[in-house]
Structure 1
Amino acid sequence: MHNYKLVIFDWDGTLMDSVDRIVFSMQATAVALSLAPPAYHQAKQIIGLSLPKAIATLFPEANEEQVQLLTAQYKHQYVEVNTTPTPLFDHALELLVNLKNEGKLLAVATGKARAGLQRVWLASDTEHFFHASRCADESISKPDPDMINSLLAELKIEKHQAVMIGDTSFDLEMAQSAGIDSIGVTYGVHDEEVLSKYQPKAIVGSLAQLHQLLLNRAVKG
């Protein structure tokens, strides 16, 4: 596990604890537009998809005008209205620091738009850890392998040298389709039963466990 040259992270639910904020913002979006809000579990399942694909999944009967309104309202709710904290998960910084100190290349493949990733990078002061990134508004949405394939090409990494780490079936299916290894984490959106369907090399329940797996030593503290 510690021989990978490139470690690709999902963001929401993998490095950042943002699941509640996403779900609550999506529910508030529906209420603001006089639509029936999705249940918590239902809204949670779209995390990782691009926003257009997420909205199409949750509101399949919405017409084009409603989709545009839903998109704009969700962005308003998430950025300007919702105040649910979105901290990094415990041991996220230690993991990033130590992976970079080991000479690993780090990347992000996220369902966020570029503006959203830049916003959370600024808030968490983590952009400097990553050598490359792919966002949902500049790539084909997960689980298509486009994000991974373009990262491998940019960083000149062979498939056997890379691993994808994520908390959703979309992350692991994307890795499987791209032909690279994956590791599932269960503290985000999907549980071990769902993640195991995509044949990850491992499934862990914390970033401390992931640190042990990738660096072959326990996280300090």
Structure 2
Amino acid sequence: MRWKYIFFDLDGTLTDPMLGITRSVQYALRHFGIEVTDLSTLCPFIGPPLKDSFREFYGMDDARAEEAIALTREYFAPKGIFENELYAGITELLEELHEGGARIAMATSKPSPFARQIAEHFAIDRYFDLIEGSTLDGSRTTKSEVLRLAVEGLGVQDPARAVMVGDRRFDIEGAASVGIESIGVLYGYGSREELEAAGAGHIVADVGELSRLLTGH
């Protein structure tokens, strides 16, 4: 295999969390008197840190954004977390990489406890040497911070043997910040234009193409 250390984003890369995340955000916005009926308009919330999204898309200050995050989790923790599905072919890909000797980590902007719970729910946790995410208290939120911790935790000796796989520019920029290669996937929530502008080293259309790139066959 070309890469020994493989870091995966979660939302939009391993799983499709559209319903769970958008319904959670819808629930939070309703508290502020904002009614959103078309859940697809909330898809930009998938991937980036929630605080950034509430500030960018709804003009919230830090205090209101923090309140919105708490409300989002109020729906997400018991229900939204399971309104999610694994992309077809992901389990087989992880199994092949694991059996081939790759060191596999998850690096997500989702809080670590939720990321681990999702991995366990879909029975893919056994393939990961490490699962790192953001913190619930907001002390670690960016993909760069998460990925730096994951790279250290996995004990990467040669950055040239490491790659980050994700669907948004945050994944690509995070990879660049720690000096590793990146693969952008188009089956998630980022566009080719977004991934190219961020400097993705490779871009794949589907899980099959991703598998061929990672495994070499």
Change (3 A) 1:13 1:28: same
Q: Shift of residue 98 of structure 1?
A: 0.1
Question: Root-mean-square deviation (CA), in Å?
Answer: 2.3
2:109 corresponds to which residue? Answer: 111
Instruction: Mark the runs of 5 or more structure 2 residues left unpaired by the alignment.
Output: none
Q: Which has the higher strand share?
A: 2
Q: Shift of residue 135 of structure 1?
A: 0.7
1:11 corresponds to which residue? Answer: 10
1:46 corresponds to which residue? Answer: 45
Q: Match of 1:49, SS?
A: coil
1:129 corresponds to which residue? Answer: 127
Q: Match of 2:22, SS?
A: helix
Partners of 2:62 and 2:140 in 1: CA distance: 22
TM superposition score normalised by structure 2: 0.88
Partners of 1:151 and 1:140 in 2: CA distance: 12
Matched, 1:171 2:171: yes
Q: Match of 1:135, SS?
A: strand
Matched, 1:71 2:76: no
2:215 corresponds to which residue? Answer: 215
Query: Percent of aligned pairs with the same residue?
Result: 25
TM superposition score normalised by structure 1: 0.86
Partners of 2:71 and 2:213 in 1: CA distance: 40
Q: Match of 2:12, SS?
A: coil
Change (3 A) 1:19 1:37: same
Alpha carbons 1:29, 1:70 under 8 Å: kept: yes
Alpha carbons 1:9, 1:108 under 8 Å: kept: yes
Give matches, 1:16-165, under 5 Å. 16-35=15-34, 37=36, 40=39, 43-62=42-61, 64=63, 66-82=64-80, 85-137=83-135, 140-143=140-143, 145-157=144-156, 158-165=158-165
Q: Which moved more, 1:155-164 or 1:181-190?
A: 155-164
Alpha carbons 2:116, 2:131 under 8 Å: kept: no
Per-residue deviation, residues 85-110 of structure 1 (Å, max 9, x unmatched)? 31110000000000000000000110
Partners of 2:216 and 2:58 in 1: CA distance: 44
Alpha carbons 2:9, 2:107 under 8 Å: kept: yes
Partners of 1:103 and 1:124 in 2: CA distance: 22
* Code of the aligned partner of 1:101: E
Q: Shift of residue 46 of structure 1?
A: 3.2
Per-residue deviation, residues 44-91 of structure 1 (Å, max 9, x unmatched)? 223222333333333333462x33431221012223355873111000
Per-residue deviation, residues 9-28 of structure 1 (Å, max 9, x unmatched)? 00000000112321232123
Give matches, 1:160-199, under 5 Å. 160-199=160-199
Partners of 2:81 and 2:154 in 1: CA distance: 36
Partners of 1:152 and 1:67 in 2: CA distance: 29
Q: Shift of residue 132 of structure 1?
A: 1.3
Alpha carbons 1:12, 1:47 under 8 Å: kept: yes
Alpha carbons 1:110, 1:136 under 8 Å: kept: yes
* Code of the aligned partner of 1:85: E
Instruction: Mark the runs of 5 or more structure 1 residues left unpaired by the alignment.
Output: none
- Aligned pair count reads 214
Alpha carbons 2:165, 2:185 under 8 Å: kept: yes
